[in-house]
Amino acid sequence: MDTLFVSMAVIIAGGAAGLLLCRQFTLMKLVAIATTSVGCGIGLLFTVPKLLSGGAELAVTYNWLHVFTLAFKLDSVSLFFLIPIFLVPPLTLLYSFHYLENKDKKLRVGVSYFFFSVLVASMALVVMADNMITFLLAWELMSLSSFFLVMYDYEVYENRKAGYLYLIFAQGGAMLLFATFALIYRHTGSFDFASFASIPDASKLLVFILAFLGFGSKAGIFPLHIWLPKAHPAAPSHVSAIMSGVMIKMGIYGIFRIYLLLDAPTPVIGQIVLATGMVTGILGVVYALAKQDIKQLLAYSSVENIGIILIGLGIGMVGVSEQNQAMAFFGFAGALLHVFNHSIFKSLLFMGAGSVLHKAKTKNIEELGGLMKRMPVTGRTFLAGSVAISGLPPFSGFIGEFLIYYGAFQGLSSQNLPYIMTILAIVSLAVIGGLATACFTKVVGLGFLGEPRTAQAANAKESGFAMGFVMSIMALACLVIGVLPEPFVRLAFLGIQDVPAAAGFNTDSFIVIIQHISKTAALFIGLLLLVSLFRKMMYVKKEIGSGPTWGCGFTQPTVRMQYTGTSYAAEMIGFFKPFVPVKTVYTGIRKIFPGKTTWESEVVDIAESNYQLRLITPMLTLLGKLRWIQHGNIQLYIGYIIVAIIVLLLFL
Amino acid sequence: MIQLSNALVSVSHVGDVLLTMTVLSVLLSLGSNRLGALVKIMAFQGIVVSLIPFFLEHHGQMSTGSIILLQIMLLIKGLLIPGFMYAAVKKIKIKLEVEPIIGYNASLFAGLIFILLAAFITNRLQISLPVKNELLMIAAITTLAAGLFLIMSRHKALTQVIGYLMMENGIYLIGTALAKQTHTMYVVEFGVLLDLLVGIMIMGIIVHNINSSYDDVDTALLGQLKDN
Amino acid sequence: MESILSFCFAVLIAPLLPAVIQKVKAYFAGKQGPPLLINYYTTIKLFKKGSVYSTSTSFVFKMGPVVGFTTSLMMLLFFPMGEVSPLLSFHGDVLILFYLMGLGRFFTILAALDTSSPFEGMGAAREAFFSTLAEATVFCILILFFRLTGSLSFNEFFSGPHAMNLMGEYGALLILVVVGLYIVMLTENSRVPVDDPATHLELTMIHEVMILDHSGPDLALIEMGAWFKLLFYSGFLARIIDPFHSENVIVNALLFYAVVIFVYVTVGVVESITARYKMNLVPKFILTPFILVFFVTILTMGVLQ
C-alpha cells in the first residue's frame, strides 16, 4: 500500500516540477512527463503483481487533523481499476510532448501538467478510498483538477462555457453523492464504507438510485451525458483521452462499488442499470453517428461504451438476483474488461483526433478527407482503433463484448422479466455493434479516405514522432488483446475475485472457449495473409492502370461532390426520429431570380433541448421575478446580511 | 432409408402452426403499405383463424352442426368479406397507399409491444383458463390489440374496416380459447359475423358515396360533417 | 476427412448455385439464360485480367476484397454443410463468426468510401444501415436457438436431441424463423426486393454500386465472397428445412444440396415476380422478421417449455 502512496507522491512531484520549471519549456515537458510516468510505473509494478497473486485485501487508516479519518482499502476491483489509471497517463503524456508545442503558453502548459498529475493521483485515491470522507475528498479533487484541464484554452468563449457546464454536472453529481452518503449516515452513524450493508433494505433502493444518478453524471449515462460532447472538444486531446478513457470510468467504479457495498440483490437495481445501459448505448451511438465533429463524435461514442459497460454490469446484477452465477460472473467480468479495453482504444482515437486537429486545423469530418495518405501513422492507428471500438474481431473491443454476450446468453434460462430484459440486452448489443460500425466507417471513410475536401486537409502532414509512437503502441495493444485475449480475460476474472457473487466460479470451460477465440482470430489473420499473398500472385506481371474514379458517366467530378457525413448518417438518424430530432433551417427561394440561399441541418440532443425547455427556462423566469432583491445598493446588502443573521439566530 | 418425421401429423402441432401464421399475418398487416396487399393478408388471416378450431385438441369431437357453421364462417371470413373489400379497392379509384398516421416501423414496434403485453397478460390469466393453450391466448390478444391499433393509426376508411375485422378475429380467437363447449359459442359468433358482413356491404356503398362526393376516402374528411 | 471434403465441395459448388437463380429468372422471362457454369468462366476471366485503380484510393481499397473474401470463407469453415460436422467448431463460434462478417462489411464499406465517389458512398450508407437491422434479427435467432438447444455453435444447433429442424419438436416456431432468416438472407446478400443489382441506375443499388471501382482479381474475390455468403445463408436455411435424414453420408449430403438448390430456386422465383421496394420501405421489410423472431423467443418463455 505504501508503494502506491510513494507512486502518487512521485506523480504529484512530476506535476509540481512542471509548474516550477515552466521557464525552460522543453526541459519542463521532459521532467514532468518522465517523473509522472515513473510514478505511474511504480504504481503499475505494485498493482499488477498484487492482482495476479490474488493477495489479501489491504487496508490502512490515517488520522487527519484529528478530526477526519482517512481510510484506504484495496480489493481486487480497486486493483483492476488502478491498472488503466496508471497505464494510460504515461502514454498520453508522452503524446503531449509533441502535442503541446506552443512555447508562448509556457506557464499554461506547466499548470496543465500539474493538474494532470493531480487528476491521476486523485483517481487512484478514489478507487482506494474506504470511507465517505476520503472518497468525497478524492472525488472533488478529481472533478476540480479535470475542470482546470478542460479550461486549457480559456480564451475561447465556447470552451469556457463547456468548462462551466462540466463543472455544473460534476458538482451536481457530487451533490447527489453527498445526499446519498448523508442518507446512509443517518441510518448508520458511521462514515465507514463497510457499514453500508447494514442500512434497512427499504432505503437501499433510494440510496442506490441517488448514487447511480450521482455517479452517472460523471460516467455520462443518458440523459446526464450532455457535458461530454461539450467538454471533450474543448479540452486538449491528451486530456480528452484521459478523461474519456479513464476518468468517466470512475463513475462506473462508483456504481459498481456502491452496488457491492449495499449488498442488495433486489432485482429492480439490476433492471434499472440494464435498462439505462441499453438506452445509453443505443442513443449514444446514434448521436455519435449524427455528429460531424470528430471529438464530439468520440464523446458520444464514450457515452455508447458506458452503455455497453452498464449492460455488462446490469447483466451481472440481474444474474446475482436470479442466482445465476455464470451470468453474474461473465457480466461483471465483461464490464471490467470493456472498461480496460475502452481506456486503450478510446485514448488512441482521441489522440488520433488530436493529431488530425493539430495538423489539419479542423476536426470537422466534412472538411477532411484523404488523410490516410498524408498522415499514414495516424490514419492506420485510427483505423485499428475504429475496428476495435466497433467491437469487431480480431481486435480488443470484441473480447469484452463477447464476455458480456456470453453472460447474457447464460441468462436466457430465466423466466419473465429477467428473460425479456436479457433478450433486449443481447439485441441492443447487436444493434449498438452495427451502428458503431456505421459510425466509425463514417469517420475513417470520410475523414481519412477519399479526397481532401479542403486545402487544410490537403496540406496536412504527419504529426511528431512521440505522437505517432504512442498511437502505434496502443493500436498494437488493441490487436494483441484481440488475438491473445487469455491473459487479459484472466486479469478481468481476477478483478472480480473479491466480488462475493463471483467467488468460487469455475472458469476452466470458458478459458477453453477463449483459447478457441484466440485460435480463430489467429486463423483469420493467417487466412487473410494467405489470401493477400494469393492476390499478390494474381497481380504478378499484370498491367496495373490508374485513373480517376468512375463517375457513372459524369466527367467533371469535384472533391465537394463526395458523400458527406450528414448524408451518410441521414437514413439511420431518420429511423430514430422521435429520439433524435433534426432541426433544419432553409431560407428558401422566394424571388423570381433566386439569390443566395442556405440550408442547414443540425441534430439536436434531445436531453439538452429538454433541459433547456423544462428546467432552465422556467427556472430563469422564476428567478427573474426575484430580481428586485438585487438593487446594487451596498447598504441594502448589509441589511440583508443582518436580517439573515437574526433569522438564523432566532430559529436555530 | 429416408425417413420423414411424422411430427407434422400431430393435431396440436397444426394448431400451433396456424396460430403462428395468425401472428405472422398480424405483423405483415401492420407493415403493409398497399391496400390490395392488406386485403389479401386479411383473407389469409380469415382462413387461418377459421381453421383453428378444427385443430384444437380441447374441443374434441365436433357436431355436424358446428362443422357446417365453421365452414360457412370460413367462407365469409376468407372469401366473401375480403372479396367485397377487394372489389371496393378496385372499384373506387383511390390511391392504393395506406397513409399511416403512425409510421410502418413504429407500427411494427407497436406490434412487438403488443406481443410482449399479450405474453404477460396470458401469464396472469393462466390460472383461470379452462384449458391451457398460451399460444392461443397470446395470438388472440395480439390480434385484437393490433386490430384496434390499425383503426387508430390509419387514415383511410377501408383500413379502419380492416382493423375492425382483425379485432373481430381476435375476439373470435379469445372465444375459442375460453369456451369448452363449442356449439353455443359459434352460434353467437356467427351472428356477429353476419352483422359484420352486412356492415361491410354497407361500407362498400358508403365508401363509394364518400368517394364520389369528396373525391377521397380519407376519414379526416368526415370531420367536415360534424356540427359546428 | 469428411469435413475437409465437405468444405472443399462447398467452396467448389458455391459459384455454380447462383447460376441456378439466373436460370430461373431467365425461365420466367422466357429466355434461355446463361450456361450453368457461367460463374466459373467469369472468375477465370477476371483472374486473368489486371486492374485499374482510382488515384483517390489507398491501401484500404485493396484490403476490402481480401477481408470480405476471407470472412466469407471463415463462415464455410465453421458451418456444417451437407450434414457433415464442419472443420472447426466450438461453443460460442456463432458470435465471433457473425462479428467477422461485420468486419468484412466494415472493410467493404471503407473500400467503397475510399474511391470518393458519391454513388459508392450512398451504397455504403445503405449497406451499413440495413445490415444493422438484419443483425438484430440474426441475434434474435441465436437467442432462440440457444434457448432451445443450449448451445452457441452452428454444429450443435443441428445435432443432438434438440436439433433445429422444421420436422422436430419446435417445428411450429421454426416456421417463423425460416421466414425471418429468408428475409435476412435476401437482405445480407443484396437480393430483390431489398436490392436490385440489375437496375439501370447506380443510385438505386446497394451492394453492386459499392464495388463499381473494383476490377480484375479484386472483383473476382468480391464475387466469390458473395457466393460463399449466399451459400452459407441458404445452407443455414436448408439445415432448418431439410426434412430428410439418412444413415449414408453421401446420400445425406446430396439431399442437403437438393434443399439448398430449392432455396436458390425460390430466390430466383422471388426475384422474378417481385420488384425492389422503395428505399424508404426497406427498413420496414427488414424489421418484420425481427418482430417475428422476437415473437418466437417470447413464446419460448412459458409456452413450449
| CB–CB contact C303 B138 (8 Å) | yes
pLDDT confidence of C176, banded at 50, 70, 90? confident
Tell me: pLDDT of A240 over 90: yes
Tell me: pLDDT of B6 over 60: no
Residue type, B36: G
Under DSSP, is residue A62 helix (H, G, I), strand (E, B) or coil?
strand
- Own/partner contacts of C35-44, CB < 8 Å, gap of 24 or more, are C39/C15, C39/C223, C39/C227, C40/C15, C40/C16, C42/C220, C42/C223, C43/C15, C43/C220, C43/C223, C43/C224
Tell me: pLDDT of A452 over 60: yes
Which among C168, C245, C299 has the least Cβ separation from residue B135?
C299
| CB–CB contact A420 B123 (8 Å) | no
| CB–CB contact A420 B105 (8 Å) | no
Q: Across residues B30-59, what is the average pLDDT?
A: 84
Least trusted range by pLDDT, from A209-218, A522-531, B12-21:
B12-21
Tell me: pLDDT of B221 over 70: no
* B47-95 pLDDT tens trace: 998 888 877 765 556 677 777 877 888 888 888 888 888 887 777 766 6
Q: Which chain C residues contact residue A563 at CB under 8 A?
A: 113, 117-118, 120-122, 124-125
From B130's Cα to the closest Cα of chain C, the distance in A is 16
Provide the chain A residues 336-375 that lie in CB contact (below 8 A) with chain C. 369-370, 372-373
From A417's Cα to the closest Cα of chain B, the distance in A is 9
Closest alpha carbon to A167 in A150, A188, A186: A150
Q: State ipTM.
A: 0.95
pLDDT recorded at residue B184:
61
Choose the mutation target among A365, A422, A437 for the interface with C, i.e. most C CBs under 10 Å. A437
* B124-152 pLDDT tens trace: 776 566 666 778 888 888 999 999 898 88
Distances (CA, A) of A526 to A468, A481, A531, C73, C75: 27, 17, 9, 12, 15
Q: Tell me, yes or no, if A539 comes closer than 8 A to chain C by beta carbon.
A: yes
Domain borders along chain C are 2-299
Q: What is the DSSP letter of B218?
A: B
Average per-residue pLDDT in chain C?
Answer: 89
Closest alpha carbon to C211 in C57, C13, C92: C57
pLDDT recorded at residue A182:
92
pLDDT recorded at residue B3:
35
Which among B105, B116, B120 has the least Cβ separation from residue A575?
B105
pLDDT recorded at residue B154:
84
Q: A68-74 and A544-547 as β-strands: parallel, antiparallel, unpaired?
A: unpaired
Residue type, A376: P
Q: Identify which of A194-198, A504-508, C106-110 has the greatest average pLDDT.
A: C106-110
Average per-residue pLDDT in chain A?
Answer: 90
Which among C54, C99, C122 has the least Cβ separation from residue A563?
C122
First to last CA, chain C: 38
How many residue pairs from chains B and C have C-beta atoms closer than 8 A?
A: 91
Q: Give the span between the Cα atoms of A577 and A569, in whole angstroms.
A: 12
Cβ contact A501:A320 at 8 Å: yes
Closest alpha carbon to A384 in A344, A430, A434: A344
C211 or B183: which leads in pLDDT? C211
Q: C51-54 and A544-547 as β-strands: parallel, antiparallel, unpaired?
A: parallel
Q: Give the span between the Cα atoms of A391 and C99, in whole angstroms.
A: 8
Q: Across residues B171-197, what is the average pLDDT?
A: 70
Least trusted range by pLDDT, from A435-449, A565-579, A584-598:
A584-598
Q: Across residues A330-342, what is the average pLDDT?
A: 95
pLDDT recorded at residue C303:
46
* A392-448 pLDDT tens trace: 989 999 999 999 999 999 988 887 788 889 999 999 999 999 999 999 999 999 999
pLDDT recorded at residue B130:
60
Q: Tell me, yes or no, if A427 comes closer than 8 A to chain B by beta carbon.
A: no
Q: A68-74 and A58-64 as β-strands: parallel, antiparallel, unpaired?
A: antiparallel
C80 or B199: which leads in pLDDT? C80
Tell me: pLDDT of C44 over 70: yes
- Label each residue of A234-288 as H, E or C: HCCHHHHHHHHHHHHHHHHHHHHHHHHHHCCCCHHHHHHHHHHHHHHHHHHHHHH
From B123's Cα to the closest Cα of chain C, the distance in A is 8
Tell me: pLDDT of B199 over 80: no
pLDDT recorded at residue B58:
56
- Chain A: list its partners (3+ Cβ pairs within 8 Å): B, C
B92 or A326: which leads in pLDDT? A326
Choose the mutation target among C300, C303, C304, C305 for the interface with B, i.e. most B CBs under 10 Å. C303
Domain borders along chain A are 1-190, 570-604, 619-652
Distances (CA, A) of A5 to A18, A65, A533, A576, B223: 20, 19, 53, 49, 77
Q: Tell me, yes or no, if B123 comes closer than 8 A to chain A by beta carbon.
A: yes
Q: Which chain A residues contact residue C115 at CB under 8 A?
A: 450, 549-550
- Label each residue of A545-565 as H, E or C: EEECCCCCCCCCCCHHHCCCH
* A116-141 pLDDT tens trace: 999 999 999 999 998 899 999 999 99
Q: A582-586 and A58-64 as β-strands: parallel, antiparallel, unpaired?
A: unpaired
The C-alpha R_g of chain A, in whole angstroms, comes to 26
pTM for the full predicted model: 0.91
pLDDT confidence of A469, banded at 50, 70, 90? very high
Q: Give the span between the Cα atoms of A150 and C253, in whole angstroms.
A: 64
Q: Tell me, yes or no, if A9 comes closer than 8 A to chain B by beta carbon.
A: no
